[in-house]
Amino acid sequence: MRELKIFSGRANPELSLEICQHLHLKPSAISLGKFPDGENFCKLEDDVRGRDVFLVQSTCPPCNDSLMELLIMLDSCKRASANRITAVIPYFGYARQDRKDEGRVPITAKLVANIITRAGADRVLAMDLHAPQIQGFFDVPVDHIYAAPVLNESFLRRGLSADRIVVVSPDEGSIKRAVGHAKRLNGAIAIVDKRRTSATEVRQSTIIGGPIEGKVAVMFDDMISTAGSICGAARLVKQAGAEEIHIACTHGVLCGPAIERLRDAPIDSIAITNSIPLPPEKHLPNMHVLSVAPLLAEAIKRIHHDQSISAMFREGGAT
């Protein structure tokens, strides 16, 4: 048996600690900090020679600091002769820069994947990548897991009648996700026709499917960044006569005017996971934080024992 070691970066230490608690392990000791000139510093305080090492670090804001810290942790483990190094990245930053949508722009998601691989990652464990094809950007195995079981369970516990639920896709790109959630919740499905006017502004125009009137509308997305899309969709759904509106997402980036938009939108509840830490100033009264630590802990255990990851979702009935 290869001894399991879990190290945490400073991006989300609470999540890392919770993962370790589910695995009945103590977090491995590591010293992280900055030199006076701002350079990152890392020292592993535990022996990792020949061990199976997992580094938990979301590349969330401050994105560049979080990413650089992950790279330094990877290099430290590689130079300390770890047997296998898995980068556990609950939130993978730069994921939206996954293609050339105009001339003379980079594909930064591919660049970041290359850097992580070159720094020493033998495999990657990520959750709800913004674009699934990012798995192919890495030249090492990628285990891509989904927070859908956690989000679905939060709604199933509410005991909502299936004939009242309509799962609304906030845009065309989220249709597949919405269909999966609708199957699990036994609800109907509707799609918001979204037209993007700029990199930061969108305009919603109509709803396809339904019906919406008198229903409980539930909207799922992989992330909420500035909240422009989800709040615009919520207003459109409210105008269509929805009785209640609930939204859920995996990654609560919540930057710029997101909090103000969510506060002013006709939304009854917001469910987000703890893939990104939620500071108190971003916590709204109708916001609920769901933990993905059990899901990540199970995935880490399965990787350590060379077991199937996809079986987690088949056994749990997730989509």
The DSSP H or E segment spanning 116 is: helix 108-119
CA distance 14 to 293: 10
Closest CA to 220 of 319, 144, 134, 88: 319
CA distance 215 to 264: 21
Give SS3 for 7: strand
Active-site position among 5, 110, 194, 215 = 194
DSSP secondary structure letter of residue 297: H
Asked if 176 is an active-site residue, the reply is no
Residue type, 99: R
CA distance 107 to 283: 33
Tell the burial category of 78 from Cβ atoms under 10 Å away from its Cβ (0-12, 13-18, 19+): middle
Catalytic residue numbers read 194
